[in-house]
Amino acid sequence: MIEDLLIINESGALLYNWHPQGFVSNGKEDLLSGFLTAINSFATVERGEDIKSLKLRETQIIFEKYNELHQKLTFVITTKNEELIEILHAILHELMEKFPKIFYESLNREFNGRITQFRKFDTHMEEIINSYGLDILNNTIKQVDKGDTLKAVIYLEPKGGNIFYIHAKHYVNKDKISFLVPLIMSSAKLLYNSNLKEDLDWILLNTVHNEKLLVEPREKILIIKQFQSSENFEEDILSLEFFKEKDKYIRKPKKLIEKFERLKWSPKIKQIYLVDIFGKILHSKIFDETYDCTEYVPETISFLTSSKKTSEDIFSKVLFNASIGGIRIVTICVNFNNFCLTLIGSIHDFNDFNEIQSICIDVFKQLI
Instruction: Please say if the pLDDT value at position 168 is more than 90.
Output: yes
* 250 and 123 both lie in a single domain: no
Q: Does 90 reside within a domain? A: yes
Q: Does 297 reside within a domain? A: yes
**pTM for the model:** 0.89
Pairing of strands 339-346, 73-79: unpaired
Hey, what long-range contacts does 113-120 have (CB within 8 A, 24 or more apart)?
113/13, 115/13, 115/14, 115/15, 115/16, 118/7, 118/15, 118/16, 119/16
Q: Does 139 reside within a domain? A: no
At residue 272, the pLDDT reads 94
Q: Is the Cβ–Cβ distance between 107 and 100 less than 8 Å? A: yes
- We report the CATH number of the domain holding residue 347 as 3.30.450.30
User: Order of strands, edge to edge, in the sheet holding 73-79?
Assistant: 14-18, 2-9, 73-79, 60-66, 53-55
Q: Of 131, 160, 178, at which residue does a domain stop?
A: 131
- We report the CATH number of the domain holding residue 28 as 3.30.450.70
Q: Which residues pair with 215 in a beta bridge?
A: 203, 224
Pairing of strands 211-217, 200-207: antiparallel
Instruction: Please say if the pLDDT value at position 125 is more than 70.
Output: yes
Q: Is the Cβ–Cβ distance between 320 and 334 less than 8 Å? A: yes
* 344 and 243 both lie in a single domain: yes
Measured in degrees and rounded to the nearest 5, phi and psi for residue 186 equal: -65, -40
Mean local confidence (pLDDT), 200-209: 94
Confidence of residue 39 (pLDDT cuts 50, 70, 90): confident
Provide the domain count of the chain: 2
Average predicted confidence (pLDDT) for the chain = 88
Mean local confidence (pLDDT), 270-293: 88
Domain of residue 100: give its range: 2-131
CA dihedral 323, 326, 331, 334 (to 10 degrees): 0
* 75 and 198 both lie in a single domain: no
DSSP characters over 6-49: EEEETT--EEEEE--TT----S-HHHHHHHHHHHHHHIIIIIS-
* 111 and 198 both lie in a single domain: no
- Residue (of 294, 250, 251, 254) closest to 270 by Cα position: 294
Q: Of 101, 131, 161, at which residue does a domain stop?
A: 131
